[in-house]
Structure 1
Amino acid sequence: MGKTNLKDDEKDGIAHFLLVNSENLVPMKGKIPEADLKWVVTRKTVWLWWTRAKKKIADGEMIHLPSGRLDNTNNPKIIIDKERLMSIPKKNRASIEKLAKKLGVGYGTVQRWVKAGMVKKHTNAIHPSLTDSNKQERLVFSLASTFVDMTQNKIKFKDMSLQVHMDDKWFYITRTTERYYIIPEEDVPYRVCQSKRFITKVMFMCARVTRLVYGDNGEMIFDGKIEIFPFLEEIPAARNSRNMPAGTLETKPTNSITK
């Protein structure tokens, strides 16, 4: 037998559950038995609180929003069962579709919850599992590096305005598909490549951009413009071809790059 002494939040939960799953204040098929099982009450108790909820709607104390829309105050009137939501494994909450299916509500309902801030979208990143020795090595490296100043018994990061970071980058000389904006009367570009699967890559040495550097008198010593240096070499063509005669200088990427 179901319980009869309900808490206020349980009473409101029954009313809002049927309110959301109703059309023109008529509960959808199967929602009354579902409320019986969810709150462990009798059908008579469910109908009792549903009747009182409809009376509140008629008196203007409760707003009827079966489609999950917002009223003029922009406050959502659909109550989320937070305990039920948190009981769902996080792997089944990876998308709105999965969450809506587990909660037994529509996709649009969950989407409106997210938009109203009732459900927060979180992007979770995996972190490395560091041992105590790993943490100690990182601490020693940070203290011994040129980025930390330990003068006057104080530890603080040094000014990075004089630091330039070097790194290598790989770039394809072209892409399989390019987008251009042309006028109707203009000829479309015709691009060719020996192989679409193996497009030539060129290695560049990049100096990362740093801040401007000024002297004591206010003159600018370094303007922050750093170049990208490609690893290319010019090789004369070994033989005649339909593209060029022998001896013509060809620009090709450097195949082997060492320290």
Structure 2
Amino acid sequence: METRFFDLNQLPCDEDFDLNQLPCGEDIDTMIIQEIDEAQGDIPLFIHSHSTNSVVLDMGRDDEARYRYWDLSFEQVDESDDDNHQQEGGDDFDENYAQTQQHINSTHTHDSGGARRRRLVLTDDQRLKVYQAVLEKSHGGKLKKKMTTEVSNIFSVPIRTVQRIWKLGRSNGGDVKSKKKKRCGHPKLQVDISRLMEIPLRKRTTLLSLSEALGVSHTVLYRLIKEGLIRRHSSTLKPYLKDDQKRARLQFCLSMLDQTSMPNEPKFVGMYNVVHIDEKWFYLTKKNEKYYLHSTEADPLRTCQSKNYIGKVMFLVAMARPRYDSDGNETFSGKIGVFPLITKEPAIRRSRNREAGTLVTKPIPSVTREVIRNFLIEKVVPAIKATWPIEDMGSTIFIQQDNARTHIDPNDPEFRRVASQDGFDIRLMCQPANSPDLNILDLGFFSAIQSLQQKKRSDTVDELIGAVENSFMDFVAESLYMKFSVYGACFT
């Protein structure tokens, strides 16, 4: 075998440089390319021409193209050299190849597509099986042509791995165990996790701030999170409850117990006769929206007069628990109604969109107690009477509201007069203070119909009202029934 040297300074080492055109004849097993540089010194580059079919060029510089990789296909190389390597005494090549392999494995090697490629590591049992397979095919300790190739195909390992194991076994009397220790690399950094609880919460909001407080890198924290020693937690603000409010909440939950199930198997009542009401603002658009676009699609442009004054409308929503018969068919959807708090006023001036005097929909600027009373008497109560199941006409119906200042007193005489007409017994009740989870609307219904409303484009107040009303009607009763199951869990 011959080892030939080339001067890298005399080679066109650019992106179109084809190493396949180098003079690689049958007598060349290893090419060593050197860069003659007084500052850098001679940098050897080992290129194996007929087994790995790849080349690594260490340019010896700190630029992005320090390591270059090419696939080689030398047609003039005699493939028999691989199998006759042990017989022809390629010790020089083994030394060069070992240095090359060590240099490649010490860096992050990649294939031509940029994907990371790791060196195959065999266990001691696998190495022994490879050695025994080569030993069975050998004749008097010598290998014939294509033997290492056959073993390489059987175990799906590189040819050079098979040859290296064979050479190691021949020199060590059949001992082919790996020389690597069981635990290699840098020792694992030990971190005192108990110090984490001593760090203030304000310094534990990000991994960067936590790493600074602990004095470790953020990659160590990633490992600790993966091991389960550190966990992420999202903290949300909860309403503050005073002692008397806690007692009122407890009494409210106890009042929902079914007295017939006491004391052996206490259960909560079905709460089918409770109508939940509450108000919510719905907006024409949001300040920030997230879209998924095509790679060539232009970014959408969203504008408004002022992002601090986006058009909005307040809605009063009334909901009850859905009902089903014994066969699972829906008999009552529980949807009482959604009522926008708006007024119709004639336009004072003429514009390009309307003539003067045209009725314009405007949100009620100030929602007072009188406004809520009028909506309860003129909107909510008639809707309950129109949609309530006939078989439950004689039972008492409770309208549950929160403790907002604009809500009327449960004993309001004008409301009691209207609610007791037409054979109905409709009463007002207030939920415990600072307990929004005890209202089905705040518990999840508002966010559900809001997500449906935001999928519809609304440019005007009338379009927003239509979108909210359609979202209210499109919400399926099965999902509402599941939310009542979650509502019942809030009592325990």
| TM class, shorter-length | 0.5 to 0.7
Per the alignment, residue 205 of structure 1 pairs with: 316
Q: Deviations over 1:166-188 (max 9, x none)?
A: 211101234456677899xx9x9
**TM superposition shift of 1:136:** 2.7
Pick closer, same or farther for the CA change 1:119–1:150 going to 2, 3 Å. Answer: same
- Asked if residue 234 in structure 1 is aligned to residue 344 in structure 2, the reply is yes
Kindly report which structure 2 residues correspond to 1:66-85, keeping only aligned pairs within 5 A, or say none: 78-85=189-196
Aligned to 2:204: 93
Q: Which aligned pairs between 1:28-43 and structure 2 lie closer than 5 A?
A: none
Question: What is the DSSP-based 3-state SS (H/G/I as helix, E as strand, rest coil) of the residue aligned with 1:171?
Answer: strand
CA distance in 2, matches of 1:194, 1:149: 55
1:117 aligns with 2:238: no
Go from structure 1 to structure 2 and tell me whether the alpha carbon gap of 1:250 and 1:62 turns closer, same or farther (over 3 Å shift).
Answer: same
Tell me the CA shift for residue 189 of structure 1: 9.1
For the Cα contact (< 8 Å) 2:347–2:357, is it kept in 1? yes
* Distance in 2 between residues matched to 1:244 and 1:152, nearest whole Å: 63
* TM superposition shift of 1:230: 1.6
**Distance in 2 (alpha carbons) for counterparts of 1:181 and 1:90:** 35
**Which structure has the larger Rg?**
2
For 1:97 and 1:174, the matched residues in 2 are separated by: 34
Q: What 5-or-longer segments of structure 2 have no aligned partner?
A: 1-105, 107-178, 373-492
Q: Residues 113 and 233 from structure 1, CA distance in 2 versus in 1: closer, same or farther, beyond 3 angstroms? A: same
Which residue, 238, 256, 259 being the options, matches 1:150? 259
Deviation at 1:122, TM superposition (A): 2.9
Unpaired runs of at least 5, structure 1:
1-23, 25-57, 67-76
Contact 2:258 2:267 in 1 (8 A): yes
> How far 1:224 moved relative to its partner?
5.0
- Does the 8 Å contact 1:172/1:200 carry over to 2? yes
Partner of 1:3: none
Where in structure 2 are the equivalents of 1:43-54 lying within 5 Å? none
The CA deviation string for residues 11-31 of structure 1, in whole angstroms up to 9 with x for no partner, is xxxxxxxxxxxxx9xxxxxxx
Rate the CA distance shift 1:233–1:191 in 2: closer, same or farther, 3 A: farther
Answering whether residue 174 of structure 2 is matched by residue 64 of structure 1, we say no
Question: When the two structures are superposed, what TM-score results if normalisation uses the length of structure 1?
Answer: 0.55
Q: Does the 8 A contact of 1:167 with 1:208 survive in 2?
A: no
Q: 1:248 aligns with which of 355, 358, 374?
A: 358
Q: Supply the distance in 1 between the matched residues of 2:222 and 2:293 (Cα, whole angstroms).
A: 39
Q: CA deviation at 1:204?
A: 0.8
Q: Deviations over 1:186-237 (max 9, x none)?
A: 9x99987554432332111123574x41235765311355643222333222
Counterparts of residues 18-37 of structure 1 (less than 5 Å): none
Matched AA of 2:358: T
In 1, Cα distance between equivalents of 2:356 and 2:230: 68
SS at match of 2:354: coil
- Please tell me the root mean square deviation across aligned C-alpha atoms, in Å: 4.1
SS at match of 2:250: helix
CA contact (8 A) 2:273 2:320 kept: no
Contact 2:319–2:334 (CA<8 Å) still a contact in 1?
A: no
Aligned counterpart, 2:56:
none
CA contact (8 A) 1:162 1:213 kept: no
Query: Could you tell me how far 1:159 is from its partner in structure 2?
Result: 2.1
Residue number in structure 1 paired with 2:143:
none
Hey, what's the Cα distance between the residues in 1 that align with 2:348 and 2:212?
Answer: 66
Deviation at 1:106, TM superposition (A): 0.8
Determine the C-alpha separation between the residues in 1 that align with 2:184 and 2:320.
57
Change in CA separation of 1:103 and 1:173 when aligned onto 2, cut-off 3 Å: closer
* More moved, 109-118 vs 219-228: 219-228
Shift of 1:248: 1.8
The aligned residue for residue 133 of structure 2 is none
**Secondary structure of 2:316's match?**
strand
- Partners of 1:87 and 1:195 in 2: CA distance: 45
- Give 2:324's aligned residue: 214
The one-letter code of the counterpart of 1:102 is: A
| Distance verdict in 2 for CA 1:161–1:87, change over 3 Å | same
Aligned residue pairs total 189
Q: How far does residue 130 in structure 1 lie from its aligned partner after superposition?
A: 5.1
Over the matched positions of the two proteins, sequence identity in percent amounts to 41
Instruction: Report SS of the residue matched to 1:165.
Output: strand
1:126 and 1:199, CA in 2 relative to 1: closer, same or farther beyond 3 A? Answer: closer
SS in 2 for 1:156: coil
Letter in 2 for 1:139: L
Secondary structure of the 2:315 match is: strand
